[in-house]
Amino acid sequence: MVIYLYDGSFEGLMTAINHALENNIEPDRIVRKNSYNNSLFSKPVYIKTDQELSLKLSTELKIRLGQRALKEIYYSFLSEKPNVEKNIYHYIKLGLVKGKDIHNVLTDEWVLEVKKMARKVSRESHRMLGLIRFRNLPEDIYYAPIKPDFNILTILAPHFARRLPSQKWVIHDKKRELAAIYNKTEWLIGDLSSDLKIQPDNEELAFQKMWQEYFKSVAIPNRKNKKLQRQFMPKKYREYLIENPES
């Protein structure tokens, strides 16, 4: 059994898949190095990330399969679901044969799985764009905690860099202990502990209290529709909403 190990980055995965394709190898599994459990029956091969090889494959995919396919591959990767790397490997391998017709392949299980996960990631990132609530911290830094199902910081960050170009902000994925940090010039993704205690300034606390009171006042009891609320705003997303008195 041949197992490819990579560093967990998208560039690392593209490097590993490029290595497999160029050497006509079909690995049984492609696994993040930090999540691999050694086995007597496997032969792990660590593929070091090569930015040039990653870019080479990504560029080839964009030309031959189209931007839509490359986006599906990337979004599926962000799902972090088990075996997603092998799904992407087969999608790419078939796509290099089918070209842009890959989108007309509706019976291949690998292709369907990549498309399904890409849709889920896209839906959550779109929903999160409307649910993120920033708190104003001392030194005029905006801070927003989130706990998304998928690793969507790299989708959210460019949006808010365009929307708030003159404002320092942090979007904190407390589930993964990662954060997108913007300094008015560029954004980057870095580690940030979920145990970090963040306190808004006094003015922001007063605003949050006012907003919560307003939210309660307009939520007339006999007009509440819990089922509809859950449909448009699942409970898992409410923890960090300013409108939520428990946030």
Mean pLDDT of the chain: 85
CB atoms within 10 A of CB 81: 17
Average the pLDDT over 169-180 and give the result. 92
Q: Given this model, what pLDDT does residue 65 score?
A: 97
CB atoms within 10 A of CB 170: 20
Pairing of strands 141-146, 2-6: unpaired
Cα torsion 220, 221, 227, 233 to 10°: value is 50
Is 192 in contact with 179 (CB distance < 8 Å)?
yes
Q: Which residue has the higher pLDDT, 93 or 245?
A: 93
Residue 227: which residues within 8 A CB-CB, separation 6 or more? none
- For 142-153, b where at least 16 C-beta lie within 10 A, e where not — what string? bbbbbebbbbbb
As a whole number of angstroms, the distance between CA 80 and CA 175 comes to 13
Q: Given this model, what pLDDT does residue 200 score?
A: 61
Largest CA distance in the chain: 66
| Model pTM score | 0.81
Give tens-digit pLDDT for 115-169.
Answer: 999 999 999 999 999 999 998 887 788 999 999 999 999 999 999 999 999 999 9
